[in-house]
Amino acid sequence: MADLLDLQGGRKEGGLPLCGSHGMSPRDFPSQALGFGYDIFCPVVEALSAAGFLTMAQGKPRWSTWTGQGGADVISTRGRVTRFRLTCRALESAEAHGIAVADWQRHWGRTEPSVPLVPAKAPRIVLHGKRVRQGAKKPPAPNLPVDMAHPAVRRFSEDLEALNDYLTRQSISGFAFAGLRRIWNNGDQPGFAWQWGGRYASLPGGDAYENMSAERRLERIRINGSAVAEVDIRACHLTLLYGLLSEPLDAERDPYEVEGLPRVVVKAWVGQALGASKVDFIRWSKEAKDKYSAAFPARHLSSDFKARDFGRLVLKVHPVLERLDEGELDSVSLMFHEAEVLSSAMLQLRLGDVAALPIHDGLIVGLEHARAARTAMAVAFAERLRTLTDSEPTALPAFKVDTAVAMHKNDD
């Protein structure tokens, strides 16, 4: 109700208050970001609709279906997520109970602490062991002690302290920001030297904005009063792989566009190959299946495409993936390089008094700083490859910039 009333007093589309949009599959309801789930949301929507308080425009998938490998071509459609708007009856009822649209926040707005309470012992440098499968389950990785006197740890810790000090002096709203930490992986494996993992994550005590949907982040987050953009490195790990192996990659070409193959499946196969550090797998991962089902409801990835046969077609375009066993080119190594690129880019932006929040393979910045973020990441990416290969980079990144306005246009 608070979200929809907020929209009533905001932008318009076609002379009507802006709709609120949201996906309606269980995966669109991460409990960490929303605080409630699909099983709670759906009955509320049904009850509001039945009472005449809510109109709902059902979404549609972004892609059509096909008959399977070797069958009909995949046809791209302009899909949209489900959209919601309060009815006149709902607004009149709210007004009758003394709730004015212009004053909605006094009734329902969430009060976010300006400085969230961070547990005193919450570590900024976190080290996990290797996740080991136990039968059909893969339990969480164990936490390991951190030697804070290690030179690498001191460097990471000092950088985090400076970054957190700067960010907590900015006005960051839309979620409770408590600061950042970095998480390393495989600390119990031979050869570990703080080169595996290292991704940024929110500190306990605040909201984990990195687990929110991109739509929710773009709609809600404000940095120093400005709406934000997410500037992501497209196919970051694949581009890093090309660069580390000194193989050329055309930055103007979408690496997931392979003639005759659906892009979503190409991306899933490449992601699984990079994650597993091998290309000869015969079964699709659960993540690949979930992404496929989300894009093509009622279809089954394993039935439509055989992983090994599909991989042979992808490798004709990206033979570099067959070299994943050369040196440290596994997913946790690539993740570390990615995090170091973001770290360097955020430092450059900070020197120009531009606040940025890291998000996996990209940065969240104020709309007016999107170009600066692209430039900083491009420079940091190239410098990382020069340092690691001692030569000019053969693969440079392409970028994807998302904004709330752009996402609404895509929905339409």
Same-domain check for residues 171 and 265: no
Stretch (H or E) spanning 101: none
150 domain residue, yes or no: yes
At residue 372, the pLDDT reads 98
Sign of CA dihedral 295, 297, 302, 304: negative
Same-domain check for residues 132 and 230: yes
248 domain residue, yes or no: no
Same-domain check for residues 221 and 141: yes
294 domain residue, yes or no: yes
**Distance in angstroms between the alpha carbons of the first and the last residue of the chain:** 23
- Other beta carbons within 10 angstroms of residue 65's beta carbon come to 16
119 domain residue, yes or no: no
Cα pseudo-dihedral 374, 378, 384, 385, rounded to 10: 150
Q: Which of 257, 239, 266 is nearest to 334 (CA)?
A: 239
Which amino acid is present at 295?
A
Cα–Cα distance, 378 to 372 (Å, whole number): 10
**Whether the Cβ atoms of residue 81 and residue 59 lie closer than 8 Å to each other:** yes
Provide the residue-wise pLDDT of the chain in tens; the chain has 412 residues. Answer: 777 776 665 555 555 556 677 777 766 666 545 566 777 888 888 899 999 998 888 877 655 444 445 554 444 445 677 888 888 888 888 888 887 766 654 544 444 444 455 555 689 999 999 988 777 677 888 999 999 999 999 999 999 999 999 999 999 999 889 999 999 999 999 999 999 999 999 998 888 999 998 998 999 999 999 999 999 999 999 999 999 999 999 988 999 999 999 999 999 999 999 988 899 999 999 989 988 988 888 889 999 999 999 999 999 999 999 998 777 789 999 999 999 999 999 999 999 999 999 999 999 999 999 999 999 999 999 999 999 999 999 999 999 999 987 665 554 4
DSSP class of 326? S
137 domain residue, yes or no: yes
Name the domain boundary from 57, 74, 108: 108
Same-domain check for residues 136 and 219: yes
Stretch (H or E) spanning 279: none
At residue 83, the pLDDT reads 81
Name the domain boundary from 265, 286, 317: 317
Same-domain check for residues 303 and 339: no
216 φ/ψ angles, rounded to the nearest 5 degrees: -70, -40
Same-domain check for residues 375 and 268: no
Q: Which of 350, 328, 352, 338 is nearest to 380 (CA)?
A: 338
192 domain residue, yes or no: yes
Same-domain check for residues 38 and 134: no
Same-domain check for residues 193 and 233: yes
**Host domain of residue 15:** 2-108
141 domain residue, yes or no: yes
Q: Show Cβ contacts of residue 232 under 8 Å, excluding neighbours closer than 6 positions.
A: 359, 360, 361, 362, 399, 400, 401, 402
Name the domain boundary from 77, 108, 139: 108
> What's the token pair of residue 126?
């976190």
Same-domain check for residues 143 and 290: no
Cα–Cα distance, 95 to 205 (Å, whole number): 36
Total domains in the fold of the chain? 3
> What's the token pair of residue 271?
């992601």
Same-domain check for residues 71 and 171: no
249 domain residue, yes or no: no
Under DSSP, is residue 133 helix (H, G, I), strand (E, B) or coil? coil
Pairing of strands 125-128, 180-184: parallel
Same-domain check for residues 304 and 354: no
> What's the token pair of residue 47?
């009850």
Same-domain check for residues 163 and 53: no
Cα–Cα distance, 103 to 101 (Å, whole number): 5
> What's the token pair of residue 357?
């929040």
